[in-house]
Amino acid sequence: MNMSIRSIGLYIHIPFCFSKCPYCDFFSIVTTDEQLPRRYLTAIRRELEIYSQKIKESELLSIYIGGGTPTLLEGKQLEEILINCFRYFHIREGMEITVEGNPGTIDKEKVKILCQAGVNRISLGAQSFNDKVLKKIGRIHSKQDILNSYQWIREAGFNNVNLDIMFALPGQSKKDLEKTLWEAVQLKPEHISLYALSIEPGTPLAYLIEKGIIKLPSDDFSNELFSTAIDILSAYGYEHYEISNFALPGKRCIHNELYWKNQSYLGIGAGASSYIDGKRYQNYRDLSKYILLLDYGILPIAYQEILSLRERMAEKVILQLRMMDGLAKEDFQEQFKVPIEKIFYEPLQKLKEQGLLAEKETHYFLTRRGISLANNVFMEFLD
């Protein structure tokens, strides 16, 4: 596996959760085995060490510790992960280091340790400021927990905070979303991520909807909610820079921009994905298998694929169109040595005629309607 690259983003997956949210399809587990996190962290250290030998002369552009719920770990355990990142890789000074946390799993001491360990960005899974809605979607925290966690994060010295907010929730009214967003912007976070509740097959929530126990808003109403949210956040000075992401000036998420710009990233941990030199890798999700393989010094790669030229072209178009800056024609031509119109003429024309895509001399980008129907747009570029 030849991985001679210079700059990468590093993602580390912590799969542990206090309880499994009924809508969640991410790889996460609830465990009462106190030894499992310790064994998992040892495996993460081994995986970092192996990759540091395979990807020599590379520099980390960002570190993102996600989950699951990373803040279920002790502050010292999270610090240990970072110490190992610093030990095995070149670190760019002042680089963005994010840890995801959920209200209810954060305390004053933990955020203080994180700040001292070099973490400079916290992503807080608020989801809603309405206690009834939080209960309905199975969150373990309350509005007050969000406010407490946020205060402790600020007191610890963090000046870059993201709030995750969900919309199109069961029974959510326009007024309720407006109130949640108003409460969110009063806290003045530097970044807000706004996600529609998506129903993944096989989750408990999918079952409840199937049985008619819970009703979701219609697509039209969801689009209306999203449009309202864009207007509110824009009015408060948040730049809508990616379909689901809003930032105050200069506070875009550097790590996530690596994904959307189709740059290389390394995923460490069970179920984590990597994208390096046009190849995609995914680790085993089975924790026992993941730990066992690394005990023997074997990378826990479940599968890998080399993307075809056509797949890489489609992926670039789709990822860049997620950004409000859009897809630069010159950028596509430079990378693939062919004008984008030669490859995707028909879908580009069709989407323009449907009013979902707009064209400038230098860029293609989604229209306001195209943002709401982004998945339909992206399907046009896939064979």
337-374 pLDDT, tens digit per residue, is 999 999 999 999 999 999 999 999 999 999 999 998 99
The total domain count for the chain is 2
- Where does the pLDDT of residue 277 fall: very low under 50, low under 70, confident under 90, or very high at 90 and above? confident
Residue 112 sits in the same domain as residue 255: yes
Instruction: Say whether both 255 and 360 belong to one domain.
Output: no
Q: Which two tokens stand for residue 114?
A: 């994180």
Amino acid 67: pLDDT: 86
Whether 138 is covered by a domain: the verdict is yes
Range of the domain at 328: 309-379
199, 225, 260 - which closes a domain: 260
- Residue 31 — pLDDT band, cuts 50, 70, 90? low
Distance separating the N- and C-terminal Cα atoms of the chain: 28
In a domain, 289, yes or no: no
In this structure, the answer to whether residues 255 and 316 fall within a common structural domain is no
Beta-bridge partners for 281: 274, 304
Q: How many C-beta atoms lie closer than 10 Å to residue 82's C-beta?
A: 19
Question: Domain check: are 209 and 330 in the same one?
Answer: no
What average pLDDT score do residues 207-234 get? 83
Q: Which of 13-17, 43-47, 110-114 has the lowest mean pLDDT?
A: 13-17
What is residue 23's predicted lDDT score, i.e. its pLDDT?
A: 45
In a domain? residue 297: no
Judge contact between 351 and 357, C-beta under 8 A.
yes
pLDDT digits (tens, 9 = 90+) for 37-84: 999 999 999 999 999 998 877 789 999 999 888 998 999 999 999 999
310: nearest Cα among 346, 281, 343: 343
The first and second tokens of residue 377, run together, are 């747009």
Are 71 and 220 found together in one domain? yes
Mark which of 230, 260, 290 sits at the end of a domain: 260
Whether 68 and 156 map to the same domain: the answer is yes
pLDDT at residue 184 in the model: 97
Q: Mean per-residue pLDDT for 215-238?
A: 91
Torsion sign over Cα 374, 377, 382, 383 = positive
pLDDT for position 57: 73
Asked whether residue 211 falls in the same domain as residue 313, the answer is no
Q: Which amino acid is at 362?
A: T
Check pLDDT > 80 for residue 17.
Answer: no
Q: Exposure string (b/e) for 14-40, b if CB count within 10 Å is 16 or more?
A: bbbbbeebbbbeebbeeeeeeebbebb
